[in-house]
Amino acid sequence: MKSSVEILEPTKVKVTIEVPFEEFKPAIERSAKEIGKQVNIPGFRKGHVPTRVLEAQFGRGAIVEDAVNNSLDGYYSEAVRENDLVPMSQPEVDVTAVPVDRGDESDLVFAVTVDVRPEIVIPDPAGITLTVDSVAVTDEDTEERLTSLRERFGTLKDVERAAADGDFVTIDMTAEVDGEEIDSVSGVSYQIGSGTMLDGIDEALVGLSAGETTEFTSKIAGGEHEGEDGDVTVTVEAVQEQELPEADDDFAQLASEFDTIDELKDDLREQVAKDKQTNQVYAARDQL
Percent of the chain exceeding pLDDT 90 equals 74
- Asked whether residue 96 falls in the same domain as residue 43, the answer is yes
If asked whether residues 86 and 146 sit together in one domain, one would say no
User: Is the pLDDT assigned to residue 231 strictly greater than 70?
Assistant: yes
Higher pLDDT, 107 or 64: 107
Confidence class for position 54, pLDDT limits 50, 70, 90: low
Residue 39's pLDDT is: 62
Distance between CA 172 and CA 82 in Å, rounded? 75
- Note the pLDDT of residue 136: 93
Per-residue pLDDT of 112-157, as tens digits, reads: 999 999 888 888 888 899 999 999 999 999 999 999 999 999 999 9
Instruction: Calculate mean pLDDT across residues 76-83.
Output: 96
Q: Check whether 111 has a pLDDT greater than 70.
A: yes
Q: What is the pLDDT of residue 158?
A: 94
Instruction: Name the pLDDT band for 102 (thresholds 50, 70, 90).
Output: confident
Phi, psi of 80 (to 5 degrees): -60, -45
pLDDT digits (tens, 9 = 90+) for 183-207: 999 999 999 999 888 999 999 999 9
CB 208 within 8 A of CB 236: yes
Q: What pLDDT, on a 0 to 100 scale, did the predictor assign at position 151? A: 93
pLDDT for 243 beyond 90: yes
Q: For the residues 60-89, what does the mean pLDDT come to? A: 92
Q: Is the pLDDT of residue 47 over 70?
A: no
pLDDT for 87-101, tens place per residue?
Answer: 999 999 999 999 988
CA distance 87 to 108: 22
Same domain, 175 and 274: no
User: The domain containing residue 161 runs over which residues?
Assistant: 155-243
Q: How many domains does the chain have?
A: 3
Alpha-carbon distance 196 to 183, whole Å?
17
Query: Does residue 175 share a domain with residue 102?
Result: no
What is the model's pLDDT at position 5?
96
110 plus 32 within the same structural domain? yes
Give the pLDDT of residue 31.
Answer: 84
**Can you tell me the mean pLDDT for 223-238?**
92
Task: Tell me, yes or no, whether 148 and 261 share the same domain.
Answer: yes
Query: 26: domain CATH number?
Result: 3.30.70.1050
89 shares its domain with 176: no
CATH code of the domain in which 172 resides: 3.10.50.40
Whether the per-residue pLDDT at 173 is higher than 70: the answer is yes
Identity at 248, one-letter amino acid code: D
Is the Cβ–Cβ distance between 182 and 230 less than 8 Å?
yes
Predicted confidence band of residue 34 (pLDDT cuts 50, 70, 90): confident
> How confident is the model over 259-283, as a mean pLDDT?
96
* Start-end of H helices in 104-183: 139-152
Same domain flag for 147 and 255 = yes
Pairing of strands 213-219, 180-191: unpaired
The band of 163, judged by pLDDT with boundaries at 50, 70 and 90, is very high
* DSSP string for 269-286: HHHHHHHHHHHHHHHHHH
Q: Does 44 score more than 70 pLDDT?
A: no
For residue 216, what pLDDT is reported? 95
Q: Is 129 found in the same domain as 248?
A: yes
DSSP percent split of the chain into helix, strand, coil, nearest 5: 35, 30, 35
Identify whether residues 39 and 141 lie together within a single domain. Answer: no
Residues 137 and 264 in one domain: yes
Q: Note whether 108 and 182 are same-domain residues.
A: no
